[in-house]
Amino acid sequence: MKIICDHGYYKFFTTAPGELYRFKAAFGAELVGKGDYFTFPELAALEPFTLEGQDYGGLSAKASICADFGEVFKANGFVFDLQTKKLRPASEIKNILNFAESWSGTLNLAALPQAGGFYSGKRLLSFTGVLDKFFKICEIWGQEYDEDENI
C-alpha cells in the first residue's frame, strides 16, 4: 500500500487485493474512499477550503484558503493525529520518530509515521512511503520538514 502524507493529510493507495482489510487489522482503523485514494473517515469529511476564524475539523482556521488538502493543512498549521483521530496543530505534536535508515537511504519505521513528529531534530510534515505486505514496516522517502521548528 502506498502512502502520501501531505502536510499531515494522509492518502492511501491500494496496490493489491485485501489491503484495506489488512490495514484495519494492523492499525485498528478504517479507510474510506475519496476520489482515487483512501483516507481516514475524519479526513474524508473535510472540505478543501477554510475561512479564517471558522471551525475546521474541530479547530479554528488560521487562514482563508481554497486549495488541495495539503496546502489547506499547511496554511493552517494542522496535522491529523493518528492516535486521537482528530486534527491538531502541528506544533502540539511532540513525539520522536525512531526511523532506521536503510542501505538505499530510505527511512523505515514499525508504525505509521505521525506527521508533525520529530526525526533528527526536525519536524516531519510530509512524506511518501509504502507499507510492506505484512503491514509491519513503513518505508518512506521524499520527506519535507518544517525548517522553522527544530529540537
pLDDT tens, 1-44?
999 999 999 999 998 889 999 999 988 899 999 999 999 999 99
**Which grid coordinates belong to 12?**
492511501
If one compares 25 and 110, the residue with the highest pLDDT of the two is 25
28 conformational bin, left if phi > 0, alpha if psi -120 to 50, beta if neither:
left
Instruction: Give 90's DSSP letter.
Output: G
* pTM as predicted: 0.91
| Ranges 13-27, 57-71, 100-114, 115-129, most confident | 57-71
What pLDDT score does 103 carry?
Answer: 63
Residue (of 64, 82, 77, 87) closest to 125 by Cα position: 77
Mean pLDDT of 89-104: 83
Mean pLDDT of 92-102: 83
58 Cβ contact partners less than 8 Å away, ≥ 6 residues apart? 86, 87
Per DSSP, the three-state class of 42 is helix
pLDDT band at 100 (very low <50, low <70, confident <90, very high): confident
**Which grid coordinates belong to 110?**
514499525
d(C-alpha 151, C-alpha 149), whole Å = 7
What pLDDT score does 96 carry?
Answer: 85
CA dihedral 21, 32, 36, 7 (to 10 degrees): -110
Q: Give percent helix, percent strand, percent coil of the chain, each to the nearest 5.
A: 15, 40, 40
